[in-house]
A and B are shown apart, each in its own frame.
Chain A
Amino acid sequence: MEAVSDLNVAAVREDFPILQQTPRGVRMVYLDSGASALPPHGVVEAMSTYQETTHANVHRGVYATAERATFLYEKARLDVGTFVSASHPADEIVFTKNCTEAFNLLAQSWGEANLGEGDVVVLSEMEHHANIVPWQQLQARKGFTIKFLGITEDRTLDLSNLDELLDGAKLLSITATSNVLGTINPIKELSARAHAAGALIAVDGAQAVPHETVDVTDLNLDFLAFSPHKVYGPTGIGVLYAKREHLADMPPFLGGGGMIKDVRLDGFLPADGPQRFEAGTPPIAEAVGLSAALAYVSSLGLDAISAHHRRLTSYALAAIEEQLAGKVTVQGPVDSPQRAGVLSLTVDGVHAHDIAQVLDTYGVCVRPGHHCAKPLMRRLGVNATARASFGIYNDVDDIDTMIEALHATIKMFA
């Protein structure tokens, strides 16, 4: 095995007890971090320590433990805001139950207040359903138009008609990194061009935030949604970043406790800031786990993580080209440095589920299917792909095992 990066993968692997599991009796090769990254021990420990020492509801009790729980929850908000370089980290982060809910909040709150007949929202053909369906649901009630940026033959965003699509648009809502193709989109340019056209920009950071530095201030983003469990944190919590001035104008999303200033029998007054969008008891232990996850990722360094993913991706692409050319197709850019550690594979005559099933017997965990991106699948002309996605605990051994298993798959179905 050769060293592939600045990350000490052997040491990192020690932090992930789950990698010692052998559900198929062989070394587990986890290549599904794009669906959900494994949590390191520190995240699990932070959550269980919170549960065993500090559990209380937040924003209510005055006793010491409740005060401490509230402190930890609000610290998590600050940590997330700082992680994405928000200008006002304590005031611009809303916790949701997942990244999908963050988009629903955006559509149901900002979209409800700002979109109507004659308005335009621009999405792209490479969006996850989370950034398509909430807009379609709202469209059915509000009657605005949804336009889609296409993709080119080299599987990058087709920007040739961007200005035309943005003309008169109120929002460009787009992924920073395709969860299928691994394509990294030019968000800074898109942000500038959206703003020049008078539109806001919302970014799906689910795949980008675990892979590279996402600085909402530098990118001048209006909204950013991401998924904590893809950044080595827990499930059950999602993040929506929104500029403070947008949050101030947005109506509440879900109603109930926690999101109000006052309630009378004839109406209510909503709370200010992020709390307006957090009805009911929030995911407190999950927020604590997210803090720990972001601290862990920061300790490794996002630059080192990006470099690690790039090296693994280059290694995998070269191995496929050398050994499996003409048999295995990579659905995404193959030459571009502008790609993340996501490899969607198709094999002629073999369905993705069959690929994944054979890989499973080698301990290789990949995701088969449409990856919640059916419009993109149709555009690619495939009904499913087997997707390998890399994390900080993967090394070239993992890729070698995947390649060996792909050979076996082809042999079995030839």
Chain B
Amino acid sequence: MADLEELYREIILDHYRNPRNRGELEPPATRTEGFNPLCGDEIVLSLLVEADRIVDVKIAGSGCSISQSSGSLMSAAIKGKTVEEARALIGTFKQMLSLGDNDEVASDAEPAPINLRSLGELAALQGVAKFPVRIKCATLSWNTLAQGLDESGN
């Protein structure tokens, strides 16, 4: 039960019930879709990047509390950040879940210390690491972000 409460922190439930930056953006914003075939989670990420800065972001789609709250938390975290900062955040977020850049499970070696404070509210998703099946739900929006940044030439 303790693990469950750690998984479903109040912040996560709040972002699930009241997702931030909900919706889609018109062009020239880019639109990237992400799917988690395992449970049918879908994310539609709209990104408006101007002068290497994410000036606006919207998230649409449907799925479980972890995938949707992760998307909501991510949108709040990256809005206004530079592309470089957003990319760094993807890495830190995955590191928190003990994942490498390509979602491989990090080795048993002592993980590099992460600055959880740099993640802010995103640190609420740390409990997901104890539920391996749900990690894909948490990373869906982040992988979609990486793809979206690539596709928008950033």
- The answer to the question of A311 belonging to the interface, with a C-beta cut-off of 8 Å to chain B, is no
Task: Find chain B residues with CB under 8 A from A383 CB.
Answer: 40-42, 62-63
Q: How far is the CB of A259 from chain B (nearest CB, A)?
A: 34
- The answer to the question of A53 belonging to the interface, with a C-beta cut-off of 8 Å to chain B, is no
Cβ–Cβ contact A352 & B7, under 8 A? no
Cβ–Cβ contact B8 & A384, under 8 A? no
Cβ–Cβ contact B8 & A351, under 8 A? no
Cβ–Cβ contact B40 & A377, under 8 A? yes
- The answer to the question of A68 belonging to the interface, with a C-beta cut-off of 8 Å to chain B, is no
Q: How far is the CB of B150 from chain A (nearest CB, A)?
A: 26
- The answer to the question of A339 belonging to the interface, with a C-beta cut-off of 8 Å to chain B, is no
- The answer to the question of B4 belonging to the interface, with a C-beta cut-off of 8 Å to chain A, is yes
With A370-B40, A384-B39, A413-B65 given, is the CB distance from A357 to B131 under 8 Å? yes
- The answer to the question of A332 belonging to the interface, with a C-beta cut-off of 8 Å to chain B, is no
> How many residues of chain A get a CB closer than 8 Å to chain B's CBs?
18
- Interface positions, chain A 378-412, Cβ under 8 Å from B, are 383-384, 412
Cβ–Cβ contact B38 & A357, under 8 A? no
Task: Find chain B residues with CB under 8 A from A413 CB.
Answer: 13, 16, 65
With A369-B38, A369-B39, A413-B13 given, is the CB distance from A353 to B64 under 8 Å? yes
- The answer to the question of A15 belonging to the interface, with a C-beta cut-off of 8 Å to chain B, is no
Cβ–Cβ contact A384 & B7, under 8 A? no
Task: Find chain A residues with CB under 8 A from B137 CB.
Answer: 353
With A351-B63, A383-B63 given, is the CB distance from A361 to B4 under 8 Å? yes
- The answer to the question of A368 belonging to the interface, with a C-beta cut-off of 8 Å to chain B, is yes
Task: Find chain A residues with CB under 8 A from B15 CB.
Answer: none
Q: Mark A17-53, 1 if CB is under 8 A from B, else 0.
A: 0000000000000000000000000000000000000
A352, A358, A377: the one within 8 Å of B4 (CB) = A358
Cβ–Cβ contact A384 & B40, under 8 A? yes
With A383-B63, A413-B13, A413-B65 given, is the CB distance from A357 to B7 under 8 Å? yes
- Interface positions, chain B 1-23, Cβ under 8 Å from A, are 1, 3-4, 7-8, 13, 16-17
Cβ–Cβ contact B134 & A368, under 8 A? no
Q: How far is the CA of A368 from the CA of B8 in the complex (A)?
A: 17
Q: Mark B63-100, 1 if CB is under 8 A from A, else 0.
A: 11110100000000000000000000000000000000
A354, A361, A368: the one within 8 Å of B65 (CB) = A354
Q: Mark A355-374, 1 if CB is under 8 A from B, else 0.
A: 00110010000001110001
Q: How far is the CA of A353 from the CA of B64 in the complex (A)?
A: 6
Task: Find chain A residues with CB under 8 A from B62 CB.
Answer: 383
- Interface positions, chain B 113-132, Cβ under 8 Å from A, are 131
Cβ–Cβ contact A352 & B39, under 8 A? yes
Task: Find chain A residues with CB under 8 A from B7 CB.
Answer: 357
Q: Which residue on chain A has the smallest CB distance to residue B65?
A: A354
Q: How far is the CB of B107 from chain A (nearest CB, A)?
A: 25
Cβ–Cβ contact B38 & A351, under 8 A? no
Q: Which residue on chain B has the smallest CB distance to residue A353?
A: B64
What are 20 of the A-B contact pairs (CB < 8 Å)? A351-B68, A352-B39, A352-B64, A353-B137, A354-B65, A354-B66, A357-B131, A358-B4, A361-B3, A361-B4, A368-B39, A370-B39, A377-B40, A383-B40, A383-B42, A383-B63, A384-B40, A413-B13, A413-B16, A413-B65
5 closest Cβ pairs, A-B complex: A351-B64, A353-B64, A383-B40, A353-B39, A384-B40
Question: Chain A interface (Cβ within 8 Å of chain B)?
Answer: 349-354, 357-358, 361, 368-370, 374, 377, 383-384, 412-413
New contact pairs (11) apart from A350-B65, A351-B63, A353-B137, CB-CB < 8 Å:
A349-B17, A351-B68, A353-B39, A354-B64, A354-B65, A358-B4, A383-B40, A383-B41, A383-B63, A384-B39, A412-B8
